[in-house]
Chain A
Amino acid sequence: MAIKPEDALRLIAEARGGAICVPTMTTSPAWRTLAPDDLSVTCVGFMGGASALGLGLALARPDRRVLVLDGDGSLLMQLGSLATIAGARPRNFVHFVFKNGVYHTSGSQEIPGGLTVDFAMMAKAAGYRGAWSIGELDDLRRRLPAILGAEGPVLVELITTLANETPMTARGGVPFPQQVEALRIKLRSV
């Protein structure tokens, strides 16, 4: 029971509407193909920062949904952000955690705790308004509209296989400083 991350990202890309998206690590190569020129900024160069970057965007732009496409190893690096996000109560914040149990980019070393770490339970305990774990694509497809319309902050732990590509195998993409400048300019007009 696991979802191919590319399939989950495709569903999210189709359903996101005008949401700002913050992919990181193994969600980033597929995302730049699925959403090549839009309201996205990839968290790269400061692993673990996607949730906090998304929180800042969500607080600045309460009129727009912010979707963070996080990794399990990444979130563990700034696990305290669950409490910070819960405390800030951004109603427009949706936190997806792609859980594959390993640091895929660096060679698939197991994360602390491996697949037994329950991010949905952690998010609920931290104070997120809702948190769910989903391991089947059809289940994600069925529940995604309600998840994206829910009052945040909410977290969805997606149990996934390994991605086809990682930032190490699919290098490239727009450099981070140019992404942030482009997003800031786009956000002025939407």
Chain B
Amino acid sequence: MPESIPASLIIDTLKDTFTEARVAFAAEGQPPSRHAHLGWVLSVPDTHQRTVLAALDKEQAIRTLTCATEDEAVTVAAGLYLGGEPAVVMIQHAGLYASVNTLRGVSLDGRLPVFYLIGLLSRERDRDPRESRHSMVRHCEPLLDTFGVPHARLEGPGDLHLIPEYHRVSRERRGPAVVLVGLETS
């Protein structure tokens, strides 16, 4: 397993993901965006992905909005989608647990696409997350399975293709999709 995932690679992938989403929106008949940037990151800061958040602070092509709660982050993302703007929700596993009702109400029942990048803080490198000693890590994938949320795990730079792929899944299924960040970013 690699040591970490460089933040710059994740940001480049996010740009590609937003660009692809805008093309898809245009194909549906969305008018051109009123914004200069490519897309939005809604964040409740995640220690696991802190280097990405630090790099996003300097990034002009992506607008980042820090939210007070994960409920807000998910719901703001849904509102942006309604207005024709692509978004990514960046949170950590504890935030997923805190916002399960919003995931259900907004994205599952409401059929609004919401794509999540969720950091698995404290995930042990030598074991599968489902066997983690930490309940926050261990219960994450089973929780997503319970709700029928498609998910995949980002374990290294070779998995970055999962980000546009699962963003596409969320748009096509009109619901939530998750990429779990299994390694700290650097």
Interface residues, chain A, with chain B CB atoms under 8 Å away: 41, 45-46, 48-49, 52-63, 78, 80-81, 83-84, 87-88, 176-177, 180-181, 183-185, 187-188
CB-CB under 8 A from A63, the residues of chain B are 34
Alpha-carbon distance between A58 and B101 when the two chains are bound, in angstroms: 23
CB-CB under 8 A from A181, the residues of chain B are 111
Cβ contact within 8 Å between A60 and B82: yes
CB-CB under 8 A from B82, the residues of chain A are 41, 53, 56-57, 60, 180, 183-184, 187
User: Is B24 interfacial (CB 8 A cutoff)?
Assistant: no
Cβ contact within 8 Å between B109 and A177: yes
Alpha-carbon distance between A50 and B175 when the two chains are bound, in angstroms: 19
CB-CB under 8 A from B109, the residues of chain A are 45, 176-177
A45-B109, A87-B66 known; A188+B85 contact, CB < 8 A: no
Cβ contact within 8 Å between A45 and B105: yes
Cβ contact within 8 Å between B31 and A188: yes
Query: Which of B49-57, B72-80, B144-152 lies at the interface?
Result: B72-80
CB-CB under 8 A from B30, the residues of chain A are 188
Q: Which residue of chain B lies nearest to A83 when distances are taken between CB atoms in the complex?
A: B68
Cβ contact within 8 Å between B106 and A49: yes
Q: Which residue of chain B lies nearest to A185 when distances are taken between CB atoms in the complex?
A: B29
Q: Size range of the interface on B? A: 20 to 34
CB-CB under 8 A from A55, the residues of chain B are 72, 76, 79
CB-CB under 8 A from B72, the residues of chain A are 52, 55, 78, 80-81, 84
CB-CB under 8 A from A87, the residues of chain B are 65-66
Q: Number of A-B pairs whose CB atoms are under 8 Å? A: 116
CB-CB under 8 A from A46, the residues of chain B are 71, 75, 101-102, 104-106, 110
Contact residue among A61, A81, A88 (Cβ-Cβ distance under 8 Å from B83): A61
What are 18 residue pairs bridging A and B, where the CB atoms are less than 8 Å apart in the complex? A45-B109, A46-B101, A46-B110, A49-B106, A52-B75, A53-B82, A56-B77, A59-B65, A59-B85, A78-B68, A78-B72, A87-B65, A176-B109, A177-B110, A180-B112, A185-B29, A187-B83, A187-B84
CB-CB under 8 A from A62, the residues of chain B are 34
User: Is B40 interfacial (CB 8 A cutoff)?
Assistant: yes
Alpha-carbon distance between A20 and B89 when the two chains are bound, in angstroms: 24
Smallest distance from the beta carbon of B103 to chain A beta carbons, Å?
A: 9
Alpha-carbon distance between A81 and B67 when the two chains are bound, in angstroms: 8
CB-CB under 8 A from A88, the residues of chain B are 65
Cβ contact within 8 Å between A53 and B79: yes
Residue with the highest number of chain B CB atoms closer than 10 Å, among A45, A57, A60, A61: A60
CB-CB under 8 A from B84, the residues of chain A are 60-61, 184, 187-188
